[in-house]
Amino acid sequence: MKLDLFNKQWIDIVFEGRNKAYGAYELRQENSKTSVRALIIGALVFGLAVSAPLIISLIPDMSKEEVNMDQKIVTVKLPPKELPKDLPPPPPPPPKVDQVKFVKPVVAKTEEIVEEPPKIVEIKEKKIGAETIKGDPDAPLSIEPVGKGPSEVVGEDNTIYNTAGIEVKPDFPGGMAKFYSYIQRTFQPVEDENFPGGRVFVSFVVEKDGSLTDIKIIRDAGYGTGKEAERVLRKCPKWVPGEQNGKKVRVLYSLPIVFPKSE
């Protein structure tokens, strides 16, 4: 018997007496279909790879069109319009009230008098000027433009200054010695016997009226010292405010408060 490898009978011969439920038997049966399918897919991929340059060359290059569309716009300056030269200025509008020329009185001989000064009757209810002009009662009343003052109103300076660059620093009435004396009289000692003592660093803003606002605890010594320092500062009397350019301003102030060791 001649065995045809492309026929499925040889598969039955090979797997005779064996477990055909095993996956290898099904793979052998589908081998021819799988080979044909792989051959077709491979031929399609190969054909696509070979024809890809041709397909790409047929696609129009849009980038060139975009480059051509991106053109620079050149601004053309037109020559200024030429105005006719040597034109006399327009005559001023006639005044609303008659104007009489003022002749400066001088001492001269009678035969040397060229022009007599106007009489009081002639200048009554009239304007005195350098020449005589007939007025027009219907002429509009013209008012010369006045100067422009500052349009912006200077607002109140609410800038918070630093003590390093201020002209007059804020201070406690009587000096800092009085301030620390107030602290010692006001603060409540720490009742915990284990408190070793320490410093609480605080910052606050001395307002224009001397009151203290924006009180912050920068570093706390623990045992409730931060809250106690804040309480004492909120009850603090008003300070003498700082000044800049002769005006009272807001100033940021920082200092340490020492809490002694519990006894």
Give the confidence band of 112 by pLDDT, cuts at 50, 70, 90: low
CA distance 163 to 165: 6
Among 171, 148, 156, residue whose Cα is nearest residue 238:
171
Angle at 117 between CA 112 and CA 123, to 5 degrees: 170
Among 188, 174, 190, 168, residue whose Cα is nearest residue 237:
174
pTM: 0.42
How many whole angstroms from its chain centre is CA 204?
28
Cross-strand pairs, 253: 204
Task: Specify the pLDDT at position 96.
Answer: 62
- H/E stretch holding 188 reads none
- H/E stretch holding 100 reads strand 99-101
Asked if residue 197 lies in contact with residue 260, where contact means CB atoms within 8 angstroms, the answer is yes
Task: Specify the pLDDT at position 104.
Answer: 64
* Residue 81: pLDDT over 70: yes
Q: What is the mean pLDDT of the chain?
A: 77
CA distance 74 to 39: 62
* Residue 22: pLDDT over 80: no
Helix, strand, coil tally for the chain in percent (to 5):
30, 15, 55
How many whole angstroms from its chain centre is CA 155?
20
Task: Specify the pLDDT at position 181.
Answer: 92
> Running DSSP on this structure, what letter comes out for residue 152?
S
Looking up tokens 């040597």 gives 86
Q: List pLDDT tens digits, range 224-263.
A: 888 999 999 999 999 999 999 999 999 999 999 888 887 6
* Residue 209: pLDDT over 90: yes
